[in-house]
Amino acid sequence: MISISILISIIYLSLILAFIFGMNKSKVVKNKNTVPKNRFSIIIPFRNEAHNLPNLLNSLSVLNYPSELFEILLVNDDSQDNFKPIIAAFKKQNPLLNLRLLQNNRITNSPKKEAINTAINLSNFEWIVTTDADCLVPKLWLKLFNQFIEDENPVFISAPVKFSTQNSWLFHFQNLNFTSLMGSTIGGFGIGNPFMCNGANLCYHKKTFLELNGFEGNDNIASGDDIFLMEKMMKAYPKKVKFLKSDENIVETNAENTGKLFINQQIRWASKSASYKSFFAKYVGIVMFLENLTILVLGILAILFPEFWIYAILIFTLKIIVDFMLITQTSIFFKNTKSLKYYLPISLLYPFFIVFTGFLTTFKNYDWKGRSFKK
């Protein structure tokens, strides 16, 4: 048992240290005021988001990019709330913006992918940009994408996402968890092994999307419009899938309001992992789960057999040190460090959370936007 625990921990620590190295290796991109050239179709699927649409639309209205070089495609996915007056009022107040409201064409078990497909088929421009209805986009969003396209010649761009700051225990738990995911995401790109991205801030070449038949092959899975597409792009164009690490290109989104919604979100995110094509993505998930399970098992053994205390304390201490290094580095990049003071107590709960959600993912279905989905 001890030998296995030490081996798992060495693998885990090596992985997190690799992400820290990758995070450092990734260069921060600053706005150089590159001449706007590329044209973007911004696609935003939504369902029952009337409470979030005003803030999203306001952030889109102040984008620092020529209005003739981008369009906004809002895709309604069977919303039951009163969203139409909000969009109508926004269009009236911003007549120069090219905004269209589309209706989702439901065929498969994946409404979000279908909504994006619907919009892409009706889009006019060469680059697709996606975000979510509960997000705020930065003023230089498209300028940074345009600059990165000109400098790097990518076909797929993943970009950073962070939570809008709140002040509750649940928020700080979610924020530290999400920050670690973003640090691992950036670190993965930095070491040449991308394995995660976030659909709230993506940009990809429309022609390449169509060439690779888009989401075909995983449209039976409700979520995963981001990672499955990235895997396709990686397989076809491994040198052209890149991360735009810029603090001027960060999209903000909301943390969940209740513990139940948070757990449900984690189950949804984890449920698609079994369908990943990337060996490295599966490897990371397994190592993360085993490390947290190891800490719980050692803790139980230490209570029953005192000779296990030294191993339990050593392994857990090393874990929280390297995790803190990655999370701190990422928090500084995001200028979002308030949750760090809660790191120690949250780190004590984290192994229970990971193991609990891991087992729930195996047995429990999940809800998303008022619909139930089977894994």
Q: What is the pLDDT of residues 163-184, one digit of tens each?
A: 998 889 999 999 999 999 999 9
**Residues 231 and 276 sit within 8 Å (Cβ to Cβ):** yes
Would residue 48 count as lying in a domain? yes
pLDDT at 12: 97
Q: Are 231 and 308 part of one and the same domain? A: no
Residue 365 has pLDDT above 80, yes or no: no
DSSP class of residue 369? T
pLDDT digits (tens, 9 = 90+) for 21-78: 999 999 999 999 999 999 999 999 999 999 999 999 999 999 999 999 999 999 999 8
pLDDT digits (tens, 9 = 90+) for 335-344: 999 999 999 9
Strand partners, 41: 71, 128
Closest CA to 122 of 67, 74, 164, 79: 74
What's the CA dihedral at 322, 324, 330, 335 to 10 degrees? -160
Compute φ and ψ for 200, nearest 5 degrees: -75, -10
Q: Are 250 and 331 part of one and the same domain? A: no
Q: Are 187 and 172 part of one and the same domain? A: yes
103 versus 369: which is more confidently predicted? Answer: 103
Percent of the chain with pLDDT over 70: 93
* Whole-angstrom distance, CA of residue 39 vs CA of residue 129: 10
Cα dihedral sign for 90, 92, 97, 103? positive
pLDDT digits (tens, 9 = 90+) for 240-255: 999 999 999 999 999 9
pLDDT at 152: 96
241 versus 370: which is more confidently predicted? Answer: 241
**Residues 41 and 119 sit within 8 Å (Cβ to Cβ):** yes
Q: Are 177 and 47 part of one and the same domain? A: yes
**Residues 190 and 20 sit within 8 Å (Cβ to Cβ):** no
Q: Are 150 and 219 part of one and the same domain? A: yes
* Whole-angstrom distance, CA of residue 167 vs CA of residue 172: 7
Q: Work out the angle at residue 194's Cα, subtended by the Cα atoms of residues 193 and 200, and round it to the nearest 5 degrees.
A: 170
pLDDT at 214: 86
Residue 324 has pLDDT above 70, yes or no: yes
Q: Are 290 and 161 part of one and the same domain? A: no
* Whole-angstrom distance, CA of residue 317 vs CA of residue 142: 42
pLDDT digits (tens, 9 = 90+) for 70-106: 999 999 998 889 999 999 999 999 999 999 999 987 7
Question: What total of structural domains would you count in the chain?
Answer: 2
Q: Are 108 and 156 part of one and the same domain? A: yes
DSSP class of residue 302? H
What's the CA dihedral at 262, 266, 271, 275 to 10 degrees? 140
Would residue 264 count as lying in a domain? no
Closest CA to 343 of 366, 318, 324, 364: 324
DSSP class of residue 258? S
The DSSP string of 186-233 is HHHHHTT------TTSEEEEHHHHHHTTTTTT-TTSSS-TTHHHHHHH
pLDDT at 364: 61
Would residue 270 count as lying in a domain? no
138 versus 362: which is more confidently predicted? Answer: 138
CB atoms within 10 A of CB 28: 10
How far from chain centre, in Å, is Cα 20? Answer: 18
Q: Are 218 and 320 part of one and the same domain? A: no
Q: Are 214 and 229 part of one and the same domain? A: yes
Closest CA to 296 of 365, 358, 364: 358
- The CATH number for 114's domain is 3.90.550.10
Would residue 369 count as lying in a domain? no
Would residue 366 count as lying in a domain? no
| HEC letters along 325-338 | HHHHHHHHHHCCCH
Residue 209 to residues 85, 160, 186, Cα–Cα distance (Å): 33, 21, 23
The DSSP string of 91-154 is HHH-TTS-EEEEE----SS-HHHHHHHHHHHH--SSEEEE--TT-B--TTHHHHHHHHHHHH--
Q: Categorize the per-residue pLDDT at 223 as very low, low, confident or very high, splitting at 50, 70 and 90.
A: low
Residue 288 to residues 12, 22, 353, Cα–Cα distance (Å): 7, 18, 12
What six digits make up the tokens of 207? 């022609």
Mean pLDDT throughout 277-289? 89
Buried-exposed string 297-320: b where 16+ CB fall within 10 A, e elsewhere: bbbebbeeeeebeebbeebbeebb
Q: Are 39 and 12 part of one and the same domain? A: no
For 168, the 3-state DSSP assignment is: coil
What six digits make up the tokens of 364? 């429990």
Structural domain containing residue 155:
27-259
Q: Are 99 and 17 part of one and the same domain? A: no
Would residue 325 count as lying in a domain? yes
Mean pLDDT throughout 126-137? 97
Q: Are 247 and 307 part of one and the same domain? A: no
